[in-house]
Amino acid sequence: MIRKNDLSEVLFAFVIIAFGLFLVYSGIDLSIGKMSRIGPGFLPLCLGVIITVLGIGILFERQEKRDDGPPNLRGLALITLAIGAFAALVETTGLFPATAALVILTALANHERIRPLTLLGTIIGLCVVGYLLFVAALQLPFKPISPDLISWFTGTS
């Protein structure tokens, strides 16, 4: 049963659904290929289906009514900055420093205080997962730490 939604939530759900359907439509003419050699249409088609299903899920989501208060502009700014910092740092400093910047800036966006040990554990965990996923499994050309950064810290050229 569809819950009573605010107009903004319904519009947001329809935007998400429309974007997912656009991805499906974009990928439908491209070759999907086989699982051993996927084609260029596989990713947009799968992402489009997933995004469409999530958009439909927003319409059926059950939540208690709550008073959110004013929007968290500081959080929005810091999350945007965190994504931008990761994108800017991943090639120049390496995957690990970029991930650390992402986690620290994201933690600052939270109103609640995060313990340093939790923050350090999150950074280490995401660095390990990122390395295993992007470097080891997908073989993307990311360096864990840039040699330029290492030489800058050690003072060698």
The residue assigned the tokens 């939790």 is 118
* pTM confidence score: 0.59
Question: How does residue 1 score in pLDDT terms, banded at 50, 70 and 90?
Answer: very low
Q: What is the mean pLDDT of residues 79-92?
A: 91
pLDDT higher than threshold 50 for residue 89: yes
Q: What are phi and psi of 31, to 5 degrees?
A: -70, 130
List, for residues 34-64, the tens digit of each pLDDT value: 766 777 777 788 888 999 999 898 887 766 6
Domain layout of the chain by residue ranges: 7-60, 73-147
Triad 19, 23, 26: Cα angle to 5°:
135
Question: In terms of C-beta distances under 8 Å and separation of at least 24 residues, what long-range contacts does 3-12 make, across chains too?
Answer: 3/60, 3/61, 3/62, 3/63, 5/59, 9/58, 10/59, 12/58
